[in-house]
Amino acid sequence: MVVTGASAGIGAALAAEVARRGGEVVLAARRQEKLEEVARTLPRACAVVAADVTRRDDVARVVSTALERFRKVDVWVNNAGRGISRSVADLTDEDLDAMFRDNVKSAVYGMQAILPHFQQRRRGHIVNVSSMLARIPFASFRSAYSAAKHALNSLTENLRQDLAKDYPDIRVTTVMPGVVYTDFGLHALGGGVDSRHIPGGQAPEQVAAILADVIETRRGGDVYTRPDAVERVVQYLRDLAADR
C-alpha cells in the first residue's frame, strides 16, 4: 500500500494500522526526517519516499520505488492535502491555486500514475481521503478547501464510473472524515484553530482503523468516518432544497 501525506496525522496512523495488520507500506511525503520517524515505529519494514505529490515527476518516482521494492501495488491512498482559513470574499488567486493544487491535482496525479499498473493487473484499490466539508460546507473559513474536496469527490466518482464496466476489480473509494485531532488546522493557509481543540473530533487512529477496514474489505463508493454523517448530509440537502 502506498500512502501519501504519511509523515503525520491520518497518513501516519494508517501506515501503522496497516503494518500492524500485516501489510507492507510505502510512505510518501515531503519531509524525509518525519517519514523516517514514522518508519521506525512500524512493526514491519517499509519504503520511504520523500516526494512532493503536487509534482507529477515525484509521484512517478513513488510508483517506481514501490514497484522496485515490492514488485506490485495493491492499494494507493491519496491522503495528502492542506486547509485554508479564508472566507470566499477574501480568497486570492494564489489561495485557489494552492487549494486545488494540494487537494485535487495531487490526487489526480496519484490516480493517473498508478492506474496503468492496476489496469495491467486488472485489480487494485484507489482510496481518496476527502472531507465532510465536501458534502456539507459548514465552515465558511474553509471555503476553498471545501470547494477543492468537492471537486475531488466528483473526479473520484467519475473515475469509479469509468472503470466499473471493464475493470470491476479496480475499486475506487472516497473517504470523508469530519474533524480529526491532527495539526491540520495549524498548517492551514492563513493559520487557524488547532484541530485538536475542536469539540467532537476523532483521533487519527480511529479514522485509520476505518480506512484499514475499507482496504481489507475492498469497499468502494463513499465512506463516512462518523456514524451520524449520512443523516447529517441528508438533512442538509433537505434543508437546502426547502430553502430554509
Extents of the domains making up the chain: 2-242
* pLDDT the model gives residue 244: 59
CATH fold for domain 2-242? Rossmann fold (3.40.50)
pLDDT in tens, 48-64: 999 999 999 999 999 99
pLDDT in tens, 5-32: 999 999 999 999 999 999 999 999 999 9
What is the pLDDT confidence band of residue 35, given thresholds at 50, 70 and 90? Answer: very high
pLDDT in tens, 153-194: 999 999 999 999 999 999 999 999 999 988 787 788 888 777
Segment 138-164 shows an average pLDDT of 97
CA 62: distance to chain centroid?
16
From residue 77, alpha-carbon distances to 109, 154, 243 in Å are 12, 17, 37
Q: Report, as residue numbers or ranges, the catalytic residues.
A: 145
* pLDDT the model gives residue 194: 72
Checking DSSP bridges between strand 124-129 and strand 26-29, what pairing results, if any?
unpaired
SS3 74: coil
Residues, the chain, total? 244
φ, ψ of residue 173 to 5 degrees: the values are -130, 135
**pTM to 2 decimal places:** 0.94
* pLDDT the model gives residue 142: 94
* pLDDT the model gives residue 187: 80
Residues 39/43/47/49 CA torsion (nearest 10 deg): -20
- The DSSP call for residue 57 is H
Q: Is 243 a residue whose pLDDT tops 90?
A: no
Segment 56-81 shows an average pLDDT of 97
What is the pLDDT confidence band of residue 123, given thresholds at 50, 70 and 90? Answer: very high
